[in-house]
A and B are shown apart, each in its own frame.
Chain A
Amino acid sequence: MSKVVAVTGNEAVANALRQINPDVCAAYPITPQTDMMQRFASFVSDGKVKTELILVESEHSAMSACIGSAAAGGRVATATSGPGLALMWEMLFVASGMRLPIVMPVVNRSLSAPLNIHGDHSDAMGARDSGWIQLWSENAQEAYDNAIQAFRIAEHMDIRLPVMICLDGFIISHSIERIEYLDDDTVKNFVGEYKQLNPLLDTEHPVSYGPLILPDYYMEFRRAQAEVMTKVADVVLNVAKDFEKISGRKYGLFETYRLDDAEIGLVILNSAAGTSKDVIDEFRNKGIKAGLLKPRLYRPFPYEEIGEALKHLKAVCVLDRADAFGASYGPLFMDIASSIYHYKDKPILINKIYGLGGRDYMPEHAEIVLNELAEIAKTGKVKTFKEYIGVRE
């Protein structure tokens, strides 16, 4: 039996963690994630989970402890935001290189300087190529659902990889929404028993983790890692299929919204997709064929599938909530450009940077962009390929 509740994104994910009941969680406070692990800590204090908490002295140690715990042989989670994820950066590669199925909600936050605690995607984008799976979430419901699916994906014997669940700081983490909780037993059965693989605590069968690998074999190791990424999409889809059976909610590698017959489209991650969908409805009412694509599995990026979904459009705007300071395009833009690059006929792509450091993304921003796309689709002319929107000049 599912239950309808009104909760924040942080509360929803904390509840998912309670239902999953990991063996160990390591955590360090950072806004806007803090409130999630605080809530989880009260589940520990009240005996509602069997989890042992490690309240570490930094995010670097949080990830280090998670790596140790996961290798020891049990289910592990942590959570972080912005600079905390940046501090973990070195260890992210160790977690994925050792193929440890750690799950980490990332409550997306901007990076310093200047210091800003609000939502944007600079943190997760900086970690996108660390060998972790990234699942992005539009709202609290998706964050909750992704958290539950993440453990099944991470622990799948075909891949054994760590997973980040991204949700927008404050916009989702701190806003109250209507969401549906699954009941505890359903989640418990869905996630299942943890399966150990080469646990350090099996002293009868000693294993060494973290060897030195010299140039003679390092590259083969890296290629094996690249190859395992190609198996992730199938695992994600299979887990989504099972999840639909218990929840009635359907998940894919990405979501399309009125895209099949669209001529112009937006590609956008997380919460701003919701705002955009409303504006797309308005444009459809005006007879303009607008649509939207929202990536869910952002790493590994489903290039082929997304290219197929977008190739028929005339003009597409990729909206990035993070910039890549290379005097080039935003990170999402570069992935979308790669996914349609090999098609002969393909949409004209433009890139807008929006919503940095918690700047609101308003319906009028989507309107401006869609009007511009309609003009590009008509004339084939582009004024600016990349610009900031919602910013003072």
Chain B
Amino acid sequence: MIARRATQQRLDPLGTLAAWPLAPAVAAFVLCYSVIATVLQSDQVRNPLLATLAILAMAAAAGTLVIATQPAHSPFGARMHLIMVSLAVFGYLLEQLSRWGGNLLVQDDFGPVCIGLLLLALAPYRPWREIILSGAVASLIAVAVTLPQAGSFRVDVPIAVYAIVSAIQILAPAAAGAAYSRRIVQSILAWQADARRAIVARTEEARGQMARAVVEQQVTALKSGVIPFLTALLDKGAVTALDIAQAGHLAAEVRRSLVAEIDRTWLDTVATRERAALTERGTPGLLVVADPEHRATAFSAEQRAATAALIGALCAAPGFDPHSLVVQIAGAPGPAAAVAPAALRPLGVLAAAPQPARVDTITIQAALDLPPRRVRALLRPYLGVIRVSFANVRVTVRRPSLTIEFDGLRTDARPPAAEAPATPATPTGVRAPKASRQVR
């Protein structure tokens, strides 16, 4: 991820989950404060309608904050950020208009304080530049709105002081929010770099052993048939028709196993491992992976880890029915292709046609005999991670069935349909595009 757009929520979704009560708290404070300030200073209000609208706008801003910070809506996007800040600034402007000419003090206006607090609450969710930029723009607006009201203020100090007070109420919390966001992102990135290095180092240590295991496995497979056959052939010094037939047979077998092995994706490996873990726990199960087009190969490291962790959590959950897990990856053309009417598309997929981004929809189904609340609580951290790696996460809990769906968007220009005929040696292709598995 690009560091300048990084947020704590994207980098450390679990940590951000822990901080989420802050958002409703800030929202509640903003709401109460705007109501109380308006009621206490009702003598300054010249236009009650505008004052009411101001409270409503501020409440909407607070509501936006609460909704956008909900774990189910993660990650907090730029659009919500903009909506929230605009509503808050709008509320502030309405408030100022409602007391125009009657405003005695700036410091007791609720607008600046609320805007500042709302920006502060963005700290775990938005990049620091955007927070401080919003703060700067809002405080400029505050200064611009404060200066023309010089005539009505009660305390006789230079108007600049009023402007400073209104701007500081926004800027100080916004700066704090931005500083937090920047610092925490730096720390997490530093830790991730370290952790990655450690993981790579540990994997390196296991390298020799793993290579040996792979070789062992291949050779063992050959020891039963191929090696004795070739040895016998060499000893005999001649080939018979029977040998020729057997060689063809063995070649077909070896090829079949090689192709099958090449077609295995990480998802199959994950399923195998979970199956082994289930057996170890004494509840052997059946995990089904349905990924006929091997879409799993296109997943990023982050997506792979998040999915594997979620599957692992499901299998280890109490009340999990070991025969119930089905992981399915199906594809749909991306939004770009969906727009184009089917009739306009050329017959047969031409490789030359620009390929739209594709969407892989992952569906995980399982039976989990737990109350829905507990299921959600159990999965919350894992779904938090899934949400930052995938789009459109949908969770349906109908005891005991549980369905989790999410979309992975990818933009690779090489859909499997186009790659097969192009060359026998598909560059991407460790894997044979399905079906035609006849062996020569």
Do A and B share a complex? no
